[in-house]
Amino acid sequence: MPTVSKLLHTVPVSLEGRSYSIQIGSGLLQDAATYAKLPKASSALIVTNSTVAPLYAAQLFEALQTRYPNVQTLILPDGEEFKSWETLNKIFDQLLGSGADRKTTLFALGGGVVGDMTGFAAACYMRGVPFVQVPTTLLAQVDSSVGGKTAINHPLGKNMVGAFYQPELVVCDLAVLKTLPPREMSAGLAEVIKYGPIYDMAFFDWIEANIDGLRAGDEVLLAHAVKRSCEIKAAVVGEDEKEGGIRAILNFGHTFGHAIEAGLGYGAWLHGEGVGCGMVMAAVLSEKLGTVDTAFVQRLTRLIERAGLPTRAPALPLEGCSDVASRYLQLMQVDKKAEAGEIRFITIDPPGRATLRTAPEGMVREVIATCMA
């Protein structure tokens, strides 16, 4: 029996010159009406991966056939380690081989890796074709599918090659989260949690009160979590689309987290696991800078632990560095927020507000030592 489609919330993303909406509900992915207002085109390409394709590719394919005369599906390997030039070229090969034109619409069906690569391919192919985000992980629904950041990884840094390119539509189908493994659910909750310290401590209070239900996949709770997360991100992106200022606060925990991901090797830790641990490290740095107290650091750490995420920093392979802290610093030097060789961090000042700032190297080394397992 087919799932009944139910649209619960629509969150607008208002940008100068063009806006789009985030649709949040249940059964949206397989409902042809979800895509009825998209620009007309003769063809569409679904880009997905080997994990998601058996679950949802056929449903999306059927829904799109009512709108596009020619629908094709490309299945990529699954994993952060495949967010690379080689995999990106598979999308271009498919587009060129099928004679895709400038109106061909790409549909990113998957998590953040699929969404980032599909968006980047859409930004580059013929200098820009339409694309739609259909995120199938909690992390992608509350973060990576919204705001137009697209990229691939480089061995020396995460998301270092990419473009700002906005989708036509974001479709957050809560029903797909039922097939999400617990580890992936926890990873997504890291990006939900971050919105509290940087923007809305009332939301943080709500997450604390409902974290067990969120981990268990309660759809009513998830609907609110996705809605509020998207509202906050949409507000920040609407104010600063190209990350020239306030948008950087969305990277709370990411400077440390990206270093962990790159240092351990992409895929060893999930992105949300790196962010979860990175938020603890950034909170400890905030405490050392005098902008939060110990009670806040402990409160945030407990919530991240309750979400099923790591809170102790791992020892990274040295790769020629004299010590682990030096390796962390080396990796953070290539963070996109670094300027003139200075690493910049998102710190909390006070809870509910975030600031982009530098910190003395000795203090950062102390943070790494304090947070090491």
**Catalytic site includes residue 9:** no
**Catalytic site includes residue 319:** no
Annotated active-site residue in 18, 40, 127, 178: 127
**Catalytic site includes residue 271:** yes
Nearest to 289 by CA among 342, 347, 250, 346: 347
- Which alpha helices (H) appear in 250-360, and where do they start and end? 254-264, 271-289, 294-306, 324-332
Q: Which amino acid is at 94?
A: Q
Annotated active-site residue in 80, 184, 243, 287: 243
**Catalytic site includes residue 241:** no
Integer Cα distance of 216 and 314 in angstroms:
27
Annotated active-site residue in 80, 168, 184, 191: 191
Annotated active-site residue in 49, 80, 83, 149: 149
Integer Cα distance of 151 and 218 in angstroms:
31
Annotated active-site residue in 254, 336, 337, 344: 254
Annotated active-site residue in 251, 261, 288, 344: 251
**Catalytic site includes residue 299:** no
In sign, the C-alpha dihedral spanning 177, 180, 185, 191 is: negative
Q: Token pair for residue 361?
A: 């190297």
Annotated active-site residue in 158, 224, 258, 288: 258
**Catalytic site includes residue 224:** no
**Catalytic site includes residue 254:** yes
**Catalytic site includes residue 233:** yes
Integer Cα distance of 224 and 362 in angstroms:
41
Q: 47 Cβ partners below 8 Å, 6+ apart?
A: 74, 76, 91, 106, 107, 108, 109, 110, 114, 117, 118, 121
Q: What is the DSSP string of 211-246?
A: HHHHHTT-HHHHHHHHHHHHHHHHHHHHH-TT-SSG
Annotated active-site residue in 194, 227, 228, 233: 233
Annotated active-site residue in 83, 228, 271, 327: 271
**Catalytic site includes residue 191:** yes
Integer Cα distance of 26 and 6 in angstroms:
5
Phi then psi for residue 240, to 5 deg, are -150, 80
Annotated active-site residue in 247, 336, 337, 344: 247
Phi then psi for residue 163, to 5 deg, are -155, 155
Residue with tokens 């682990």: 324
**Catalytic site includes residue 149:** yes
Residue with tokens 């790196």: 274
Integer Cα distance of 313 and 276 in angstroms:
10
Residues carrying an active site annotation:
127, 149, 191, 233, 243, 247, 251, 254, 258, 271
